[in-house]
Structure 1
Amino acid sequence: MPKKITLLGSTGSIGTQSLDVIRAQGYEVFGLSAHSRTDLLLRQIETFHPKVVCVTDLDAAGRLEGALAGRAGAPVLLHGAEGLRQLAAMDGPDVVLNSVVGIAGLGASLAAIESGHDLALANKESLVTGGHLVTQAVARHGVKLLPVDSEHSAIFQCLQDAHSARSLTKILLTASGGPFFGMKADQLRGKTKEDALRHPNWNMGAKITIDSATLMNKGLELIEAVWLFGLPPEKIQIVVQRQSIIHSAVQFSDNSVIAQLGVPDMRIPIQYALTWPERGGPVAPELDFAALKVLTFDVADEETFRCLAACKKAIAKGGLGPCAANGANEEAVKLFLEDKIGFLDIGRLVEAVVDSDAFGGSYDLADVYQCDRMARAFVHSHL
């Protein structure tokens, strides 16, 4: 029997590429969710025939309900944040793939895990904002957490041998450096959203592309790696690899290093998360070593790109520090995309919220959401 997949966030960049993989593998779609892009979601429904769909924006849910009215075989329609959690928890799929953007994905991740589903995780904010909640739930329910981000997938692939995992001493987390690599603060001051959205290697959604430009994305991935692989942040080194061919590497007790390489195509790590522990067929072009002349390495400039520095401070503080950094960043990026703040203001605001409190100690899910609201309010009060 083909695997059944519930895909949360099906209309985004990761979502649409996930459906490419699902189609190529001959998998079935049990459920789909989107926030507001009902035109694309409707086409996906017509192609993949899910049993259940969820639209989290209530106005958009009303539009889709009207479009589906009277259709034979129409899926069950859920709506809102609670509908997303219901879909994630439903019996039926073999794997839930969460590619929702932002902290909105945390509740769905926990719902999937607590319902006994293996979780393919592309929503890095689940671990950034609620790392100990997610990892404790995974241990308690005995499910598998399968990373989808290209960097974490690379590390995961390098650690499939149990002996290797026990010998791990360092993670080399690669970064493209984004569109502004090598620039200093004076050069970044006037950069616009159009400038920041021109990523040199990857085709991604607007929010994650801005995060790549600020290096916030790499800070979030560092925090995520702490939770996924159990190393302290000082054992995770950010390495700029401009060509985005080496997706990350691991170093062992004897100082040998193993890396995962491939063309910059998200369908490779998406497929590995869905087919694990097996590998599927080719879903992306082959890496041509005859044409690959240069691989370069550099260090990330956290003195200029303050989001990365803020994330390191946040994970060092622990507790809700990463949640505060994430909430401030989500709000600041939204304001930047609306042309209401400058590019450098994003890093200034994220670092300021992390510096504003201690954030240590234990927390529950309600605390996470309260911290997120506080961080967003902090941004608006410090414009």
Structure 2
Amino acid sequence: MKILAVDDQQLVLMPLEKRLKELGYIVKTTTNAENAIDLYREFEPDLLIIDINMPGVSGLEIVQYIRIKITATKPIIVLSGNTDDKLIVEGFELGIQDFMKKPLSLDEISARVKRLIGSPVTENLQVSTNSILQNRCVGVVIPCYNEEKRLKSEEFINFIEKNSGYHLCFVNDGSKDNTLQVLQSLRKGRENFISIYNCEKNAGKAEAVRQGLVYMSQFKDLDYVGFLDADLSTDFQDFDDLVKTIESTNFQIVNGSRISRMGANITKESARKIISSTINLLITKIVGMPFKDTQCGAKIMRKDLIPVAFQSPFLTKWLFDVEIFMRMKNHFGSEKAQKMICEQPLKRWIHADGSKLSIKDSLNIGFQLIKIYGTYTLTPLFTKTKPDFQKEDSLNPLIK
């Protein structure tokens, strides 16, 4: 039994293809909707699974061509995040047999496929862990510097195996220990879901995150990109909640916030609490936005923002979060920028030992804030021009 699956997002097709092959089906997939008709004629599948919203040619146009021009009667399932009732009705009128709304589980998809065309294997099969096919694809940058002993490899593996639609990009920021070897071991066998961006020299967290995001901007099937600390002080459950917020709203950035409150487990060192409160007061004045916490290492944004916020290097190594918001403010204007940003409290944040922020760096923060204020606020006032943050700088990384 043969199945053809068509979707413009490879991160959706890969777990679907794997599950269907485990069930004994012969499977072909394509992200190119314009080639779907030729592949359908050549492959002659017993079942077509197709998305609706694809660039160039829509899924329903392909369904219409198959039913009217080719006059093929084999079953068709639409698998889409589009919940427009008119389109769903139109699909059934064109002759589809089923409509599956993302997100949904691989187990449910398997059951629906078996109901339509049966199962090629009668005995019990061992299939991979059930996961949810999402309606969006997310790229996550994880900066790493000397993380050989702190990197929680099992947690990263468990997450990508249970949650489809994620691609993790680990940026090795010139580590002096065996971090790169640990990352290569983590990636082995998971190359479709994990990338390693290797920087030969240590340039700091800001540059590691920036280069990772510029690299991920080349991934065509990603809807959102973000970054997360390697020690998982913010866990994946909270990060996934940030993603759910941005995909269900019009916000351009959702910023995690480590606000201590009842019902949340937010653990910081006492000294860090005092420093954070003082710094945040200064940042609020400089940014001109009522943030509670700009410095949380968990953020998610629409991929279109990368040229605005990340194309050119940051002034500072540790306060680049402030620079992101200043760049948005200068680019979009203060009022519009505030409407584009959501600050979402985390349910959990646990301080991990081994922080790369030294006492010297902490004492230097005041001077860095003055530098940010002068560059992003005073310079545009005196020159009557805005800093050019979209000028592309040359990148010459070693990408593995």
Q: TM-score, normalised by structure 1?
A: 0.33
Higher Rg:
2
Higher helix share: 1
